[in-house]
Amino acid sequence: MTETKKHLTWSPWRTIVAFGVVSLLADLVYEGARSITGPLLASLGASAFVVGVVTGAGEAAALVLRLFFGTLADRTGRYWSLTIIGYGLTAVSVPLLAITPFIGAAGLAVACSLILVERTGKAVRSPSKSALLAVAAREVGRGRGFGVHKALDQVGSFAGPLIVAAAVAVTASIWPALAILAIPGAAAMVVLVIVRAHLTLPSEATTEQTAIPRPATIPVDPSGLPRSFYRFAGATGLATAGLVSFGLIGFHLVDDDLTSTGTVPVIYALAMASGAVAALATGWVYDRLGGRVLLALPALVSVVPALVFAVHIWMVLVGVAVWGVAVGLQDSTVKALVADLVPSTRLAGAYGTFAAVQGGAAILGGAAAGYLYSRSLPLLVAAVAVAQVASLALLLSVRRDAPVE
């Protein structure tokens, strides 16, 4: 049973910006919390192993569970219900972390559970939200639409940890910083409900006016998704596997005495700023040149290891900026091509499948990078380069099926 129909009474740009504001506010909440999760768990008696297991399980849940919730959205048509539930889980679970220091021995277990609930909320909402955004952005260009949304999202990613840091500095305690995040969480829910009243559902976007034009000759597998989509998922999965994590970059910065621990978040902010600019720029180019702009992704990923693991800080900073550009391209313009490759009624499932592939690739790539970093940096650089050659080959094979070309 599908949800009640709504009419698109806002302009597409107004809708996109409103969605961006929701993401900005939500990022203030969960990125702010993630910046202090380790110290919070440690204060509750967790070991480094427990912190690693909980945070790792949370990130895996946030990615892999999207496969289920994306398919669920397409089958039931309840895109808005899942979007609202997902954001609601984040808005509620993060501020509740503030009570964990006051409930004694149960504090650690409750904190671990709430962290997993928050990451599950991310999985619940992301495929449906991306499908809704794809519908709104079609009229103005999906590249620009996803780019503007990502830029606003990055503002929250940058500001959330700074707000938490300021609150901890003023109060000399962690729990007030978590409690204050209830304010942007509530604001996100209010804005989301307002947007809900002004946007059609993806299931309605199958009319002749709104359906994605698709050549009849594109081969489709039994899941209803074109084979070109799976090639594209594989290409971006290889790029994700090759894009070393910022955690490893930060480790290198401190371990090699290139900078102090306190400076690492500032360098991370540089990456976030680069990503925001890249999302806007590549989105604009995508709407004019089509999927060929994504051919730059393997090249960007391949040069990152040689730069970020250098022994000179200026080379590392250049590498971090390139890393941010690659992340911005992956998290925005890539989603635009997904929407242009698959039918409107399969968007949420496609985004869920896509995220699951990226999640698996991130886990394997992160483990491989960590292993090679401590043994042979030249081998790490070479391995990433080989993976990106394969990624480029898959991207070239996708171009002929992309309807935006």
Domains of the chain (ranges, CATH numbers) = 12-201 (1.20.1250.20), 227-399 (1.20.1250.20)
DSSP 77: -
Highest mean predicted confidence (pLDDT) among 2-6, 93-97, 249-253: 93-97
What is the spatial distance between Cα 77 and Cα 163, in angstroms, rounded to a whole number? Answer: 37
Question: The pTM is what?
Answer: 0.71
Identify whether the C-beta of residue 268 lies closer than 8 Å to the C-beta of residue 160. Answer: no
Tokens found for residue 262: 């306190």
CA 152, 27, 53, 248 torsion-angle sign: positive
H or E element in which residue 378 lies: helix 377-399
The mean pLDDT value of the chain amounts to 81
Q: Which of 98-107, 162-171, 194-203 is predicted with the least confidence, judged by mean pLDDT?
A: 194-203
**What's the whole-number mean pLDDT along residues 261-285?**
77
* Residues 176-213: tens digit of each pLDDT: 989 999 999 999 999 999 988 876 554 444 333 333 33
Closest residue by Cα to residue 351 from 30, 24, 359, 290:
359
Decide if 231 contacts 397 (C-beta within 8 A): yes
* Mean of pLDDT values over 152-178: 84
Run of H or E including 241: helix 227-242
Q: In whole angstroms, what is the distance from residue 135 CA to residue 129 CA?
A: 10
